[in-house]
Amino acid sequence: MITIVGSGPAGIYAALTAASLGEKVTVVEERDKLGGTCVLFGCIPSKAMLHPMALAYSLGRIGKTLNFSYLELTKLAKDAINRISKGIEYALESHDIDVIHGKASLKGGKIEVNGQTLNSEKLIIAAGTKKPSGALASDDLPYLDKDFNRVVIVGGGVGGVEYGWLLRMIGKEVHIVEREDLLLPKHDPDLRKSITSYFSKLGFKLHMGVEAKIEGNEVITSKGEKIEGDFVLLSFGRKPNLEGFEELRSDKWLLVNEYMETSLKNVYAAGDVTGSFTAHEAIHKGVTAALNSVGKRKAYDGSVVPKVIYTMPQIAYIGKTTGNCKKIDMVTLPRAIAEKETEGFLKICEEGGKIVGAVVFSERAEEIITIIGIAMKFGISISSLLDFQFPHPSYLESIWELVRTFDGIM
* DSSP per-residue string spanning 49-69: HHHHHHHHHHHHHTT------
Beta bridge partners of 208: 178
What is the helix (H) or strand (E) element at residue 89, kind and residue range? helix 70-94
Q: Beta-carbon neighbour count of residue 47 at 10 Å?
A: 14
pLDDT of res. 135? 77
Name which of 96, 74, 99, 68 is nearest 85 in CA terms. Answer: 99
Q: How confident is the model at residue 409 (pLDDT cuts 50, 70, 90)?
A: low
Position 30 pLDDT exceeds 80: yes
Name which of 345, 283, 351, 284 is nearest 317 in CA terms. Answer: 345
Q: How are beta strands 116-118 and 122-125 bridged, if at all?
A: unpaired
SS3 393: coil
| Percent residues over pLDDT 90 in the chain | 92
DSSP string of 348-401, one letter each residue: EEEETTEEEEEEEEETTHHHHHHHHHHHHHTT-BHHHHHTS---SS-STHHHHH
pLDDT of res. 410? 53
For residues 308 and 316, the answer to whether their CB atoms sit within 8 Å is: yes
Phi, psi of 97 (to 5 degrees): -95, 125
Q: Beta-carbon neighbour count of residue 37 at 10 Å?
A: 25
Rounded Cα gap, residues 406 and 156, in angstroms: 33
pLDDT of res. 50? 97
DSSP string of 324-353, one letter each residue: EEEEEEGGG-HHHHHTT----EEEEEEETT
Query: Per mean pLDDT, which range of 129-133, 165-169, 321-325 is the poorest?
Result: 129-133
pLDDT of res. 115? 87
Rounded Cα gap, residues 123 and 52, in angstroms: 41
Position 58 pLDDT exceeds 90: yes
Q: Where are the alpha helices (DSSP H) in 202-252?
A: none
Position 95 pLDDT exceeds 60: yes
pLDDT of res. 209? 97
Q: How are beta strands 231-234 and 150-154 bridged, if at all?
A: parallel
Mean predicted confidence (pLDDT) in 67-94: 97
Q: How are beta strands 116-118 and 212-215 bridged, if at all?
A: unpaired
Tens digits of residue pLDDT in 277-333: 899 999 999 999 999 999 999 999 999 999 999 999 999 999 999 999 999 999 999
Position 237 pLDDT exceeds 90: no
Q: What is the pTM of this model?
A: 0.95
Mean pLDDT over the full length of the chain: 95
Q: How confident is the model at residue 102 (pLDDT cuts 50, 70, 90)?
A: very high
Phi, psi of 130 (to 5 degrees): -125, 155
Q: Which amino acid appears at position 375 of this protein?
A: A
Preceding omega of 393 cis (within 30 degrees of 0): yes
Q: How confident is the model at residue 112 (pLDDT cuts 50, 70, 90)?
A: very high
